Amino acid sequence: MWKNKRVTVFITGGIAAYKVAKLVRLFVKKGAEVSVAMTKSACEFITPLTFQVLTKNKVYLDTFEEDEANKVQHIHLADHTDVAVVVPATANTIAKMANGIADNFVTSTLLATTAPIYIAPAMNEHMWENPATVRNVTQLKADGKVVIEPASGFLAEGYNGKGRLPEPEEIFEQITFLESRRTSKSPLKGKSVLITAGGTKERIDPVRYISNDSSGKMGYALAKAASILGAKVRLVSTTKQLKVPFGVEVTYVESASEMEGVVTSHFPTTDVAVMVAAVSDYYVANCSEQKIKKQHNELGLKLDLAENPDILKGLAHSKKEGQVVIGFAAETEKVLEYAKVKLEKKKADAIIANDVSSSLIGFNADKHEVTIITKSGKQIQLPECSKDDLALGIWKSLLDTNVIQ
């Protein structure tokens, strides 16, 4: 979404200014055209040359440095900004913005900017909690600015407190989410979406388990996309290795039985359930409470396997009150044939078939391709692309085919 977007980053004088180089780089890597403006104090912490090299653009510093006679620099920059980011935003700059003070290039440009403005404060905890700062932040929010909550942690003063600048990746993710939601239609607004992700684990003993190769990436991508499209999203995940998308609630589980319990409890208040998780077909009925020692005998280790609950089938066959149930079919051969059988057997509203035989688009890959088969007989093939792009394509297809209304 950032390709060719004009992003202006306004840097003010805090020690956290060193983190901004990485944030700028993230915008650049995603295709944004980035400009940087700095206060004089900001230049004490990081040099303008750093940002000139990263952005390949001039860095704006002085209100009176008018080197182009046909342009008033701060107005020109304001008019050519699609998204403005103030980071780190000091208490001083926040106070100026809240009160309309324009006494340097940064504050003058911000006063003239009509684009969305995202503010990422960073300061000492006592400064953040000071009634004057609280009042100024409240005013900025009332003026339509977005203030990103500072993090808690080790401060420059040598003690823990609230006021740290969040990590660049977190800031970037929040702004990307909020901008995506602002600029996109919200076809899922008001919908409650339940998504499962990852491969379940069935314990053999306290240190061993049976599982599969599912990474959970597709489920997380679908949760992120649904949230961007306006839905209230709950993710039921077996993996803690992936970052939870901004705006998504997560419940962690391990086994199929645990997943069934969480999913079943939330299903009555769900509008759309998407069962992406690779659920183990069997669990170990004779699971040991202690670590099993190596057994030196001809029979080896025997495990008694019992069938797990079929979560997808259970939801689709339950007494529904308008809920839409969608499943995934991960196959290594006869993908569409088996997916159609699964659709009929499970009585789902749609099955999303994916070929996991290839390492390029299978489990753990960053790219994927799928075919959506609906119970009305429609078949939509979505070509190989990143899982984030594919997730948006899946939601669009489900809406376009009226699987979700």
Hey, which residues are catalytic here? 212
37 token code pair: 């403006």
On whether the CB atoms of residues 292 and 301 are closer than 8 A, the answer is: yes
In order of 23, 124, 162, the CA distances from 156 in angstroms are 20, 8, 11
Question: Is-cis flag, bond preceding 309, omega within 30?
Answer: no
Q: Is 144 left (phi over 0), alpha (psi -120 to 50) or beta?
A: left
On whether the CB atoms of residues 245 and 232 are closer than 8 A, the answer is: no
Q: Which of 312, 318, 343, 326 is nearest to 399 (CA)?
A: 326
CA distance 92 to 289: 59
Give the HSE-up count for residue 279: Cα atoms under 13 Å, Cβ half-sphere.
Answer: 25
SS3 state of residue 374: strand
In order of 17, 36, 245, 334, 386, the CA distances from 389 in angstroms are 32, 29, 15, 25, 5
Which residues, at least 6 apart from 293, have a Cβ–Cβ distance to it below 8 Å?
Answer: none
In order of 29, 328, 347, 349, 403, the CA distances from 376 in angstroms are 42, 17, 12, 8, 9
The residue whose two tokens read 């645990």 is: 258
